[in-house]
Amino acid sequence: MPKTITEQNLNSLIDALVQDGTRVVGPKRAGTMTVYEPLSAGVELSLAEMPRRSAKEVFFPVCENILSFQRTEQGTTVTDVDVCTFPETVLVGARPCDAAAAPVLDAVFSWDYRDEFFLERRKKTTVIGVACTKCDDACFCTAVGLSPAETRGSDLFLTPLAGGGYVCQVVTDKGEALVDQHSQLFADTPSATPQPLAEPAAGQFDLKRIKAWLDNHFESPFWVGISERCAGCGACAFLCPACHCFDINDEGTEKEGHRRKHWDACAFGKFTNHASGHNPRDAQPERYRNRIMHKFKYYDDKFGQTLCTGCGRCIRACPVGIDIAAILDEIQKQ
């Protein structure tokens, strides 16, 4: 028998988790926009619109210390960050396109080097996804093989009901444990009518056909044509739930400081600048080509997955109106 939870009890679940000391992150109004932020109470949860930034920050912060150093007359002391201190976290209200990006990122963060900062946060986070009942012209999750009811990446998945509340689908053991620990907030409901799901307008892409074109068109005038408008601002990469490039810098003084990870973006002019001064991608067409290649060829070559979940944030935020879905459609027609 399916379980359901009322909106009031969902708020009560968040309140109980916060009171227990769990870090709870979810969509929250901040000024004129909605963003994923830590919640201090259930009433702060705001599921009315898609958060402006993606949920990857829960696992992969914009910047973070990875060690600290201190130099004294006796020598230099280096102290690692203890990832065991990362808090147990519940990410509630994740859009399917955001939740689905997390397992995609697992591949690269556990590949030739295990990034314990990302992986420890993944291990300690329970994801409560919510189906989308609304979309806009930028949404194209269905075009890359996902859907507004995609459960991949979620541990517990909520689908809004016509009369209010949500039907709950337990996806993983983490989700089951969360339901068991707060069973008084869930009800067994013999029948429930879900709200109609969102229907993104974009048709499904033939990703194999697109990749086959990319395999053979590294050098093509097509890249110049589509990237002439790109300003190289990097907003697309920073808002993307799947982009994951970062840089590492030492910050502080000669005597003490921190080594820090910072997000980076392949659109930036100096992203590939070598210490020698050589820059293999010194022109914007080469940088935009890398963005498309990375998402729809290189990541597939290495991990058998597409590095895009169709959230549409890059389309909404691009200051010059570049539409990645339109570009993929154009490639597909080549």
pLDDT at 228: 82
Q: Over the stretch 85-136, which tens digit does the pLDDT of each residue have?
A: 999 999 999 999 999 999 999 999 999 999 999 999 999 999 999 999 999 9
Cβ-contact 62, 44 below 8 angstroms:
no
pLDDT at 226: 83
- Burial group, residue 190, by CB count within 10 angstroms (0-12, 13-18, 19+): exposed
pLDDT at 229: 87
User: What is the radius of gyration, based on Cα positions, of the chain?
Assistant: 22
Q: CA 32, CA 37: separation in Å to the nearest integer? A: 14
Cβ-contact 286, 200 below 8 angstroms:
no
Residues of the chain with pLDDT under 50: none
Q: CA 258, CA 108: separation in Å to the nearest integer? A: 25
Whole-structure pTM value? 0.95
pLDDT at 189: 84
Nearest of 329, 306, 324 to residue 314 by alpha carbon: 324
Q: CA 238, CA 262: separation in Å to the nearest integer? A: 11
Between β-strands 256-263 and 246-252, what pairing exists: parallel, antiparallel or unpaired?
A: antiparallel
Residues in the chain: 334
Q: CA 246, CA 60: separation in Å to the nearest integer? A: 10
Cβ-contact 140, 202 below 8 angstroms:
yes
pLDDT at 109: 97
pLDDT at 192: 83
